[in-house]
Chains A and B, each alone.
Chain A
Amino acid sequence: MSLLFGVVLCISAAFGLSLGSSRNSFQEMIRSVMGKETADPMISAIIWKIRLPRVLMAALVGAALALGGLVFQALLRNPLAEPYILGISGGSAIGAILGILMGLSRFPGVGLLAFLGSLSTLAMILLMASGKGMLKKDSLLLSGVMINAFCGAVIMFLVSITQDARLHNIIFWLMGDLSLADLHQVGILAALLIPCFALLFWLSHTMNLLLMGKEMAQSMGVNIVAATVYLLSITSFIVSVTVSHCGLLGFVGLVMPHLLRMLLGSDHRILVPACILGGGTYMILCDLLARSLPGQGEIPVGVITALFGAPLFIFLLLKSKT
């Protein structure tokens, strides 16, 4: 099964490399990747300097966001939980914008502020939802929605008091953008995210046990407090890393885990690797769509993910009510 997912990821990566606004053939892409001379050196440059970082970035970010959704859903035992919907992405976006306005570099300055932002929204949500120590489904979603709306307002405020050239940057980045990817950035992202992926895989059986309820998990030997702290901080970290590099990419964490759970069941030892491969594939395809749709310039990929994700969210919400 995982082999299948790996193959799908590779195929979509190949498509991501070979399709784009300047047309060139699949063979030329292969030649270029293999290190052979292509007919036109421009094509080689486009593939290596523009498309490859972009595809890699999309794969990493998609994997991170899908995992983020998976962990939140397991931890809060709510299939609708997702970093974007709960406002955690919004919180790290506020941190990141403040960083940009303060003129900090993207790494580590902006990233650190984004991490702080995501941690503080997480803390707020948990406080609001845990009236009597219980994380109820609806109260959790509701407080998340409120925090998300609040974060939106703060972001708009920050954007509207920004007058100079940074404005365009911020807005485009906010909508979720992969077009600025370069190999150096991909390297940083990979170094930050891949260890987190490994940690989450290591914790995947614990996530299974947590889904049986706090009491049963404890009676089967899980240290609830430690497991919750690890999972929440790792997830907030990967969400803030993706937000500070690529802006707000909504609903990826909802679409992929849900789809994969329908296909593969609830075992997180399978779901974690599947989300890494599946989330990556999904993001590559969304990005591919974003840059090949006709129009002036490109559509930010965040727009595409939200266009697919939001209707699915509504569908799931309606289904869960019946």
Chain B
Amino acid sequence: MSTALSISNLTHSYGNRITLEDLSFSVRKGEFFIIIGPNGSGKTTLMKVSAGIEKYQKGRIDIFDKSDRRYSRKELARVVAYVPQTFPVDFPFTVKEVVMMGRSPHLGMLGFERDHDQKITEAAMTFTQIDGLAERKMDRISGGERQRAIIARAICQEPRIILLDEPTASLDLAHQIRIMDLMERLKEEKGVTIVMVSHDVNLAALYADTLLILKEGLSVGMGPPREVLTFENLEKAYGCILLVDQSPLGALPRITPVPRKFIRVSREKKQPQANR
């Protein structure tokens, strides 16, 4: 199967602090690829480097079998879209204006949109179910709606890969599922390759075709959730006690963190409490 994104021997550092070390992996075309790992493991840096926003010191990145250095910035923007963790809303554009900005890599310098671009913009807003909000200002809608607007903007770029940095952080459960379902639909209906950083291990287990666990810039494990989400791997990455059993939804792992009080109780009573 062909490769969408291939990372080989990638090393990146901020000054003396190494954030990614000799990292190699590849993302297959059309898969849902999720990167998990503790804070400071280099997930965000990996996203930025892949999006061409952050420079790296060593290694190489290939996007659809072409080195990233051979893409111009505009060419890259037509292949790879990026949804950052945070974005400013201090100059409130309307939702539609923001979504339409996604067309800019396809436009001339002045960026006046034609009918074709209007249609793509409207389709992206319908796809993300924000078409009713078109004329609303970005600072007057909810966090979940804002996130969907930013994703619709990425869809407007008509990319072959979408990189998302924790798109479900700070959203409620309903919105988390909504965003994840949206990305799954994008993968299935349009064949877009999804690469996502997630802080939510359970959500990642439910959606990922392939999972990469990062710790301090190194890969702890990579593969389908069932193979990678073992308690050994997870405890190595997160450094805390975690229970892994099967999700009630099917043959997928479910991860339960174990609070300290349960550990203490089990020691005092000398009884296994794992079933709680």
Cβ of B73 and Cβ of A221 under 8 Å apart? yes
B77 touches A213 (CB 8 A): no
**A223 on the B face (CB < 8 A):** yes
A203 to B157, CA, bound (A): 20
- 11 new A-B contacts, CB < 8 A, other than A211-B93, A221-B73, are A77-B91, A204-B110, A208-B101, A212-B98, A216-B87, A219-B51, A219-B80, A219-B82, A220-B102, A261-B91, A265-B94
Residues of B with C-beta under 8 A to A205 = 104, 107, 109-111
A202 within 8 Å of B (CB atoms): yes
Q: Is B48 an interface residue (CB 8 A)?
A: yes
Within 8 A of A (CB), among B14-71: 48, 51-53
Q: Could you name 19 residue pairs across A and B whose Cβ atoms are closer than 8 Å? A: A73-B91, A77-B90, A78-B90, A79-B90, A202-B109, A205-B104, A209-B104, A212-B98, A215-B87, A216-B84, A218-B52, A218-B53, A219-B84, A220-B77, A220-B105, A220-B157, A221-B76, A266-B92, A266-B93
What are the 5 closest A-B residue pairs judged by CB atoms, nearest first?
A205-B111, A221-B77, A219-B82, A221-B74, A221-B105
A212/B104 contact (C-beta < 8 A), A219-B52, A221-B73 known: no
Residues of A within 8 A of B104 (CB): 205, 209, 220-222
B91 touches which one: A215, A222, A266 (CB < 8 A)?
A: A266
Query: Is the CB of B88 closer than 8 A to any CB of chain A?
Result: yes
Residue of A nearest to B105 (CB): A221
**Contact in complex: A211, B91 (CB < 8 Å):** yes
A74 within 8 Å of B (CB atoms)? yes
Taking beta carbons and an 8 Å cutoff, which residues of B are in contact with A?
48, 51-53, 73-74, 76-78, 80-82, 84, 86-88, 90-94, 97-98, 101-102, 104-105, 107, 109-112, 150, 157
Cβ of A267 under 8 Å from chain B: yes
Chain A residue numbers with a CB within 8 Å of B101 are 208-209, 212, 220
A291 interface residue, CB < 8 Å from B? no
**Residues of chain A at the chain B interface (Cβ within 8 Å):** 73-74, 77-79, 201-206, 208-209, 211-213, 215-216, 218-223, 261, 265-267, 269
Contact B93–A265 (Cβ < 8 Å): yes
User: Shortest Cβ distance from B14 into chain A, in angstroms?
Assistant: 11
Contact at A213–B84, with CB atoms within 8 Å?
yes
B91 touches A79 (CB 8 A): yes
Closest Cβ of chain A to B193, distance in Å, is 15
Specify which chain A residues have a CB less than 8 angstroms from the CB of B91 in the assembled complex: 73-74, 77, 79, 211, 261, 266
What is the minimal beta-carbon distance from B77 to any residue of chain A, in angstroms? 4
B52 to chain A: which residues have CB within 8 Å?
218-219
